[in-house]
Amino acid sequence: MDKRSLIPDHEQYQQILTLLSENDSKKHLKCLVAIRLGCEMGLSRLEIANVRVSDIDRYHKRGLWIEIAKKVKRGSKFEMRKREIPMNPNLYLFIKTYVDNSQNYILKREKGQDWNKPFIPRHINNLYDDCEIPWSTHKSRHFFKNCVADWMRENKQVDLGLIKELMGHKKTVTEDYGSYSWDYKRDVLDKVIW
């Protein structure tokens, strides 16, 4: 099966987490961080590469502020879409343990790498390839969306506006009316991601 077409299921995801956790190389640990950010928060390669240590808990406890995401057209000009996504408790503790507060970005830089510049998004693809991850970086976002949608269907609480907000997608006028409370978003993701 083509790597670009595979969306992992829960069992495959757990197997990869176990394999990466058992390998003590820096590369595998960095890949573990990237995969968890993609699969448990729906972050894109661009977002993972650019997320800063200072973005953790910026506005809310267990929140990750996404400042550099997809460019969207607002009126006649383009700007970066911004959003804040809750981290489940397990991911939050893992990330807080992993980060090096002396560095700017969550993904650690090694000797010889510029600590003041983000990785290019292709670096995330290279991590997946080097660690033989059987799905693409974009399919990690699909996995996240599927987990949220499946939980909502199972609990008869389908909320497409919330899914779009968590994914950073454009919402309809009706979906964009008002806002989702931080507690609601956090509670949903705490229940979705085991």
- The tokens describing 21, both together, are 């956790």
pLDDT number for residue 71: 63
Arithmetic mean of pLDDT over the chain: 87
pLDDT digits (tens, 9 = 90+) for 149-173: 999 999 998 888 888 888 887 766 6
Mean pLDDT, rounded, for 82-94? 93
Provide CATH code, domain 3-192: 1.10.443.10
Distances in Å between the alpha carbon of 54 and those of 66, 99, 109, 122? 11, 10, 16, 23
Nearest to 56 by CA among 94, 3, 13: 94
- Annotated domain spans of the chain: 3-192
